[in-house]
Structure 1
Amino acid sequence: MGKPERSQPSTITKLDRSPIHLLHRAGQCAGDIFQEKLGPTDLTPRQFAVLVTVAQNEGLSQTNLVEKTGIDRSTLADIVRRMLKKNLLQRRRTREDARAYSVKVTEEGWRTLQSVDPIAMSVDEIVLSTLSNDDREHFLDSLNKIVTALGSMAQPIEKT
C-alpha cells in the first residue's frame, strides 16, 4: 500500500477562513473567559444557557428545552441531571404527558442566576469589545442568521 497522494497546500482548508473552526475557537475563547471570570463555581456556559432559558420559559418541557437551546437530548438530560443535584432546577412530570418532564428554576437557581448574569454580560462585552459598534450588531445578526438557517439541519429534534 503506497502513501496517499498529498494535496497541494493551496487546496487544503485554511483554518483562518473556516467558519467551523473559527466559530469553535471563538466559543472556546468566550467559554474560557466565562470560566475565568466566574471563579471557583462549577457552573458551565451551557448550564448558564439552560438556567437562562428555563428562567425565561418557566415550566418548559425538556423536549422544548432541547429546541430552544440547541443542545442535543442526551447532553441536555445530563446537564439537567447535574443542575438538579446542585439544586438549581427542579423537575416535575407534565400534566399533558405523564412521561414528559417540565423544569423550573429553584430559589437557589434564581440566586445563582442573579449573581452570574452580570458576569455573563461582562464576558459578552469583552468578546464584543474586539469589534466596532457597527461590527457588533452585524456580527450578532450574522450569528443569528446562521443559527436560524442551519439550526434545524444541525440539530434534528427527536420526537417523543
Structure 2
Amino acid sequence: MKHDTSSDRISSALHLLHRAGQCADELFALRVGEAGLTPRQYAVMTAIANSEEPSQTTLVERTGIDRSTMADIVRRLTARGLVQRRRTRRDARRYAVRLTDKGEGALRQAEPAARSTDERILSALAPTQRDAFLRSLSKIVSAVEPDDTGRNGRG
C-alpha cells in the first residue's frame, strides 16, 4: 500500500480549484458566525448593497451566478428577511431587490469573516504574487464561464 505524500496528490486544475473552493467555503463558514451566510449569499448581498435596487438579472451579471441559482438564493434570503423583492415602477414584470435593515446588519456582521477568509487564503502566497493570482483567477473565470448563448468561453 502506498503512503500519501505530496508527490502522490492529484494535481489537476479541476481538482485543485474544487479543493481550494471547498477550503475557502469551510474557512468562511467557521468565521461568519451568527450571520449564517454562505459565500454565495454574501456575494449576492454585497452586489445588492453596491447597486441601486438591482434586478436579479443585474445580480446574475455582476456575480456570474446562474439564473436558477440566483432565484433560489434570493428566495432564501427573502424568506430569512434579509432582502426584499418588489416590482419596479418602470417595468411591472421586473423585480428590484434591496437589503432590509436585518440584511444590512447581517452583511456588516459577515464582512470581517469575508476579509479574514481572503487574507487567510492569500497568505499562502508571497505579497508580490497575490494580485497576479487574483488576475489569473479572473482570467480563468472569463475564459471558461458560459456566455449568453450557453457555450463556454471564447472558442
TM class by shorter chain equals 0.7 to 0.9
Aligned length: 144
> Which AA in structure 2 matches 1:86?
R
Of 93, 97, 105, the residue aligned with 2:99 is 105
Between stretches 64-73 and 36-45, larger displacement belongs to: 36-45
Q: Once the two structures are superposed, what CA deviation does each residue of 1:62-99 show, in whole Å capped at 9, x if it has no partner?
A: 11111111111111111101101111111111233211
In structure 2, what is the Cα distance between the partners aligned to 1:41 and 1:53? 17
Q: Once the two structures are superposed, what CA deviation does each residue of 1:28-66 show, in whole Å capped at 9, x if it has no partner?
A: 100001001123543111110100010011211111111
> Which AA in structure 2 matches 1:44?
T
- Match of 1:51? 45
> Which AA in structure 2 matches 1:142?
S
Q: Does 1:26 align with 2:20?
A: yes
Deviation at 1:19, TM superposition (A): 2.0
Q: How does 1:36-115 map to 2 (within 5 A)?
A: 36-115=30-109
Which has the larger Rg? Answer: 1
Judge conservation of contact 2:35–2:106 (CA < 8 Å) in 1.
no
In structure 2, what is the Cα distance between the partners aligned to 1:88 and 1:155? 32
Residues 64 and 123 (structure 1), Cα distance of their counterparts in 2 relative to 1, 3 Å cut = same
Residues 76 and 93 (structure 1), Cα distance of their counterparts in 2 relative to 1, 3 Å cut = same
Judge conservation of contact 1:15–1:21 (CA < 8 Å) in 2.
no
In structure 1, what is the Cα distance between the partners aligned to 2:150 and 2:40? 19
- Match of 2:122? 128
> Which AA in structure 2 matches 1:37?
R
Residues 89 and 156 (structure 1), Cα distance of their counterparts in 2 relative to 1, 3 Å cut = farther
Residues 126 and 154 (structure 1), Cα distance of their counterparts in 2 relative to 1, 3 Å cut = farther
> Which AA in structure 1 matches 2:57?
T
SS, match of residue 125 in structure 2: coil
In structure 2, what is the Cα distance between the partners aligned to 1:58 and 1:31? 28
In structure 1, what is the Cα distance between the partners aligned to 2:17 and 2:136? 12
In structure 2, what is the Cα distance between the partners aligned to 1:138 and 1:106? 36
Deviation at 1:15, TM superposition (A): 7.5
SS, match of residue 39 in structure 1: helix
| TM-align CA RMSD | 2.2
